[in-house]
Structure formats: C-alpha cells, structure tokens
C-alpha cells in the first residue's frame, strides 16, 4: 500500500472509531437524577469549593455543595478521553496494543508529560496508563487525536457529544488533555455522572486507575493520586490542577459492598482536597450503612468540613487587592456603533492592580456604575442573555470616586467580539480586554 493510501486508510479507520465512540448506550442516563436549571452568575473562578458524593450502584446523591457551579476541569477532562477509548476497546475497533502515532501537537504540548517525541509511537495501553498515573498531557493528546481521526477538534466534539448524551449538560470540551481553554468547563455533578458511567460500564478497566506505577521506556512512572495511599478501599480515578482550576479530584472507593464516587472541584490545595474527600467518603459510607435517609445523616455530620462561600455570589476582591511591582500591559478593544458601521479601536490599557480573580480568555467590559448592585445586575443580565462567560464585577477609583465595572469574562475571541457588537447595536458601550499569557501549570 502506498504512503498516501495508508494515510487514507488510517483516517477512515479513525473516523469509524469516532463514530462508534458516540454510540455508547444511554441506559445509565435514565437512572440519573432529574436535570436541573443552571443558576445565572456561577463562574469558574468564583470563591469556594464544590463537591458531590454519589452512590455508584443507585445514582443516589449522598451529599453535595454547589454541585452545579461551572468550573474548569483541568485533567479531569482525561476521564472523557479514556471513556471514548474504553468504548472503542469494548467494540473491538481498538486494541490495547494498537500503535498510536505521536504528532507534533502531542509532542509539543505543555507538561506534565511522558516526554514523547514527534514520530514516536506508543500503544493504547501505554497512553491510558500515562493518563491515569502521571496525567500525561502528551499521551492524552496523542490518544485523543487518534480517536478524532487526526483532529483534536473532532475529538473534542466527540467528547462533548458523549457528555451531553450522558446527561452532562453543563460540560464542554475543547481538547483531550484538560489544558486551559476558557470554554472548557464542567461541574461536580457532571463529573460524577461520567465517573459513575465509567465504573459501571467498563469494570474491566478499573484497575488502570489503581496502578501505583508502570514502566515506560525503562523508567517507572508513578501514580500521583494521593488518595490511593491515604484511603483504604480506594479505586482512585483522577486528579486535576491548573492555576485557575485549582485542585480537582475524582475518587471512587469501595467498602462493605458499597461503591461511592466523590468529586471535589476548586479546592485550595492537595492537602485540603485529600482531607475533605476522606471526610466526605467516610460520611458517605456511614450514611449508606445507616440506611434510610443518607442526606439527613450527612447534614448532621458535615459541620466538620469548613464551609465555603456560595459560588453564585460575585463579590469584588478589594480586600484582597494584589499590588504588582510593575504595571501589566493589556490590550483593550473599544467597539462603538454608528448608523452605518461598527468601528473597532485598539487601545493599550495599563493596569497596576488586580481587584478581581483572574479568568482566562477575553473580557467584555459592559458598563461602569455608581453601585456594586447595579453593576452586578448588568453583568448577570448579559450573562443570562448570552449564556457564555462568567459574570464578574470589579472596582476602580477615579478622582476619589468609586465605580463598579460590569464584566463578562472567560470568553473566546469570537464570543467577545460578538458580545460587544451586539451591545453596540443596542447603543451600549462595551470594551474588550484581550487575554494576557498566563503562567499555567497542568497536572
């Protein structure tokens, strides 16, 4: 077979894998709790830690705290990449020994990595182990790209379609690794659905999450999930971290015939995340043993967990202003309307202080107001209308006068321009603030 013919054959086979991955059965979806309405104003970097504990066998929710708050998944994204691979393996269209080519996209991806190089091949088994132990982004990118017929965007589309088919209505994927993307979001409830689906549908692959280490190219690759060593009966599943996602954790465990899965998003640090997950699982298993009404039992026990702020509440962080030694330059785009056309001007804006949580992506500043309440109302209104981004309020002191700025943050460039163009046509002011390069680590 010629090189060209081989490429065509590989692409066709990969497309078959992608199509089959979307055909997973939806029987589990019917057992899930009823769909919920999404509150307006929840944002990925809102204060607080969100969590949920679910009985894997019944789908019953044993405890929860803001489980529908939109968050950045970080490496929890890899669970969906693995789900597509598991389905292809079960269907027989992929085998553990299938050779996966390492593309430039996979080789060049940000750490954490197996340090794969362009042109190298790894097996599906190696890629999956690299993802479940070290959370390797190059392994996830290579496997996802292969499942997407050579396209990361097609893989992400398949992941999102599968998520929505499972009932993960608040989840959107843009890459197979979980590296930062402003539109890549999920919530604790959705991640619990995914974890439960994987545990029930593919029990033969549970061992991948519990492996303490594996050998790759002559060196041991450790499992970085601390819960495996800390919690008896732990199956593990996934850790995730970026600077903005903070510390994310999905943990499954078995005790006395009961299997629970806990999801924790936006924790302060690993120590806090592991301690909270341990408490949640212990209380979950205690409630399971108690029988009839686990939610009541848990409400009595949960004060031992530090309460967190309601993530729906958007507050200016004036008390936590971060003073920078040197101003940071950003690009601001002013969109104005006339009777005949829209005009876009680019202006350099210098910011010496940051008075709100940083959100990746573009920000549309949609008005300045004399009171926080007015700014918040406008931010929530536009967020409700546009259904994209994060409603946010920041403050600025101009000539001894405090103004509150309504903003829609975490947008991609197209959504940002569309937002300001829409407001300009309605004769409302709108400024676009371009993203700066974030120093983001990923694990």
Measured between alpha carbons, how far is 18 from 384 in angstroms, rounded to an integer?
34
Mean pLDDT of 314-321: 28
Measured between alpha carbons, how far is 385 from 136 in angstroms, rounded to an integer?
38
The pLDDT confidence band at residue 435, using thresholds 50, 70 and 90, is: low
Strand order of the β-sheet with 390-398 is 342-354, 322-337, 430-433, 362-369, 401-411, 390-398
- The tokens for 62 are 């044993």
Catalytic residue (one of 21, 46, 63, 75): 75
- The tokens for 83 are 């789900």
**Cis amide leading into 112 (omega within 30):** yes
Measured between alpha carbons, how far is 302 from 283 in angstroms, rounded to an integer?
8
Q: Which of 129, 103, 124, 92 is nearest to 114 (CA)?
A: 129
SS3 content of the chain, % helix, strand, coil (to 5): 40, 25, 35
The DSSP output letter for 321 is -
The kind and range of the H/E element at 261 are strand 258-267
Residue numbering of the annotated binding site: 238
Tens digit of each residue's pLDDT (9 = 90 or more) over 140-156: 999 999 999 999 999 99
Q: Is 75 annotated in the active site?
A: yes
Q: Which of 170, 171, 100, 161 is nearest to 136 (CA)?
A: 100
On the question of pLDDT at 103 being above 60, the answer is: yes
pLDDT confidence of residue 151:
95
* Average pLDDT for the chain: 77
CATH number, span 318-433: 3.30.70.1070
Domain segments of the chain as ranges: 3-304, 318-433
Catalytic residue (one of 46, 63, 135, 151): 135
pLDDT confidence of residue 393:
81
On the question of pLDDT at 160 being above 80, the answer is: yes
Whether the Cβ atoms of residue 64 and residue 53 lie closer than 8 Å to each other: yes
Mean pLDDT of 276-300: 69
SS3 of residue 99 by DSSP: strand
pLDDT confidence of residue 120:
96
Mean pLDDT of 275-287: 94
Measured between alpha carbons, how far is 15 from 349 in angstroms, rounded to an integer?
46
Find all residues with CB under 8 Å of 133, minimum gap 6, and list them: 211, 213, 214, 221, 222, 223, 224
Q: Is 162 annotated in the active site?
A: no
On the question of pLDDT at 55 being above 60, the answer is: yes
SS3 of residue 233 by DSSP: coil
Measured between alpha carbons, how far is 238 from 77 in angstroms, rounded to an integer?
9
**Percent residues over pLDDT 70 in the chain:** 72
pLDDT confidence of residue 420:
86
Q: Which of 208, 435, 441, 194 is nearest to 333 (CA)?
A: 435
**Percent residues over pLDDT 90 in the chain:** 52
- What are the distances in angstroms from CA 433 to CA 229, 332, 377, 414, 416? 44, 4, 21, 13, 9
pTM of the model as a whole: 0.62
On the question of pLDDT at 251 being above 90, the answer is: yes
Q: Name the least confident of 7-11, 45-49, 196-200, 303-307.
A: 303-307
Residue numbering of the annotated binding site for substrate: 238
CATH number, span 3-304: 3.40.710.10
Mean pLDDT of 331-346: 35
- 401-411 and 362-369: which strand pairing? antiparallel
Q: Do domains 3-304 and 318-433 have the same CATH topology?
A: no
Residue holding tokens 């371009």? 434
Beta bridge partners, 260, equal 55, 253
pLDDT confidence of residue 377:
86
Please state whether 221 falls in left (phi above 0), alpha (psi between -120 and 50) or beta.
Answer: beta
pLDDT confidence of residue 436:
52
Evaluate the CA torsion angle 373, 375, 378, 380 in order and state its sign. Answer: negative
Q: Is 78 annotated in the active site?
A: yes
- 390-398 and 430-433: which strand pairing? unpaired
On the question of pLDDT at 254 being above 80, the answer is: yes
SS3 of residue 221 by DSSP: strand
- The tokens for 410 are 């975490």
SS3 of residue 223 by DSSP: coil
């Amino acid at each position: 077979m010629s090189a060209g013919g081989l490429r065509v054959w590989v692409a066709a086979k990969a497309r078959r894998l992608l199509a089959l991955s979307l055909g997973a059965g939806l029987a589990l979806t019917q057992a899930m709790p009823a769909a919920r309405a999404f509150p307006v104003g929840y944002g990925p970097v809102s204060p607080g830690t969100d969590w949920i504990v679910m009985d894997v066998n019944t789908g019953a929710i044993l405890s929860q705290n803001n489980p529908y708050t939109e968050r950045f998944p970080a490496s929890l994204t890899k669970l969906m990449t693995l789900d597509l691979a598991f389905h292809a393996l079960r269907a027989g269209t992929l085998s553990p020994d299938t050779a996966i080519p390492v593309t430039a996209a996979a080789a060049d991806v940000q750490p954490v990595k197996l340090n794969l190089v362009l042109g190298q091949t790894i097996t599906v088994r190696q890629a999956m182990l690299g993802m479940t132990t070290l959370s390797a982004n190059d392994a996830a990118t290579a496997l996802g790209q292969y499942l997407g017929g050579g396209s990361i965007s097609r893989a992400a589309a398949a992941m999102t379609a599968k998520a929505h088919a499972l009932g993960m209505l608040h989840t959107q994927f843009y890459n197979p690794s979980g590296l930062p993307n402003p539109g890549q979001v999920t919530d604790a409830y959705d991640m619990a659905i995914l974890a439960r689906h994987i545990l029930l549908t593919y029990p033969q692959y549970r061992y991948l999450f519990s492996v303490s280490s594996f050998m790759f190219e002559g060196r041991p690759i450790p499992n970085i999930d601390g819960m495996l060593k800390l919690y008896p009966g732990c199956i593990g599943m996934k850790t995730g971290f970026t600077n903005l996602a903070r510390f994310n954790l999905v943990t499954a465990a078995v005790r006395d015939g009961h299997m629970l899965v806990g999801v924790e998003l936006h924790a302060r640090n690993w120590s806090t995340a592991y301690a909270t997950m341990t408490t949640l699982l212990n209380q979950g298993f205690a409630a399971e043993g108690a029988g009839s009404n686990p939610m009541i039992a848990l409400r009595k026990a949960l004060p031992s967990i530090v309460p967190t702020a309601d993530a729906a509440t958007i507050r200016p962080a004036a008390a936590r202003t971060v003073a920078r030694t040197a101003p940071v330059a950003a690009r601001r785009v002013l969109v104005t309307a006339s009777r005949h056309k829209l005009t876009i001007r680019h202006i350099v804006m210098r910011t010496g202080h940051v008075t709100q949580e940083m959100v990746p992506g573009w920000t549309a500043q949609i008005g300045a107001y004399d009171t926080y309440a007015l700014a918040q109302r406008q931010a929530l209104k536009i967020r409700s209308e546009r259904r994209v981004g994060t409603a946010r309020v920041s403050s600025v002191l101009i000539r001894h006068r405090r103004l509150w700025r309504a903003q829609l943050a975490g947008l991609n460039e197209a959504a940002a321009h569309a937002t300001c163009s829409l407001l300009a046509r309605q004769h409302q002011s709108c400024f676009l603030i371009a993203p700066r390069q974030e120093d983001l680590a990923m694990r």
